[in-house]
C-alpha cells in the first residue's frame, strides 16, 4: 500500500537554526508531492508542491524542498527558522493519473524557541 513516512514527530529548534524535515514515500509510479503546514489554531494550508521539472522547489516563507527520485524522498528545508515557523508540517503524496487522493504523513511538530 502507498504510504508516507515523516522521520521526526517532534523537532525543537532555536531561532536562526537550520531546518530539515524528512519525508519518504512508498509508491512505484510517478507522484505529485506536497508539503502542507498547520499553524497553531489554524487550518492546513499548502506550503509548496512538486509536479515535475526542477526537483528543487521553493515555497512560501523561505521554505524549499528537494525531490530525490532515487531515494523516494521529498525533504523540507529552511536555512534559518523563525519563531513564527512553529507549526505542524505534513508531507503528502498524490499518485499521478488518478483522482486527487492525498496520502499524508503523520506530521512533524516543530517548536522554535526565541
What binding mask, one character per residue, do residues 9-48 give for other proteins by CB under 8 A, x or -? x----------------------x---x----xxxxxx--
Return the DSSP state at 62: G
Q: Based on CB atoms, which residue is closest to other proteins, 42 or 70? A: 42
Return the DSSP state at 23: E
Binding-site size, other proteins (CB under 8 A): 27
Q: Based on CB atoms, which residue is closest to other proteins, 8 or 18? A: 8
Long-range contacts of 65-71 (CB under 8 A, 24+ apart): 65/33, 65/35, 67/33, 71/24
Q: Applying CB under 8 A, which of residues 23, 65, 107, 108 lies at the interface with other proteins?
A: 107
CA-to-CA distance for 30 and 7, rounded, in angstroms? Answer: 22
Contact 77, 92 (CB under 8 A): no
**Is residue 59 a contact point for other proteins (CB under 8 A)?**
no
**Is residue 114 a contact point for other proteins (CB under 8 A)?**
no
CA-to-CA distance for 83 and 103, rounded, in angstroms? Answer: 28
Residues that bind other proteins (CB under 8 A): 4, 9, 32, 36, 41-46, 49, 51, 90, 94-107
Amino acid at each position: 500500500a502507498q504510504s508516507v513516512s515523516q522521520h521526526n514527530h517532534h523537532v525543537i529548534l532555536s531561532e536562526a537554526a537550520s531546518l530539515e524535515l524528512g519525508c519518504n514515500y512508498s509508491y512505484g509510479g510517478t507522484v505529485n508531492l506536497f508539503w502542507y503546514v498547520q499553524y497553531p489554531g489554524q487550518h492546513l494550508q499548502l506550503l509548496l508542491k512538486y509536479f515535475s521539472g526542477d526537483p528543487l522547489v521553493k515555497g512560501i516563507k523561505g521554505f524549499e524542498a528537494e525531490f530525490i527520485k532515487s531515494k523516494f524522498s521529498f525533504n523540507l528545508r529552511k536555512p534559518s527558522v523563525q519563531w513564527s515557523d512553529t507549526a505542524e508540517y505534513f508531507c503528502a503524496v498524490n499518485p499521478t493519473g488518478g483522482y486527487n487522493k492525498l496520502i499524508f504523513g503523520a506530521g512533524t511538530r516543530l517548536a522554535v524557541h526565541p
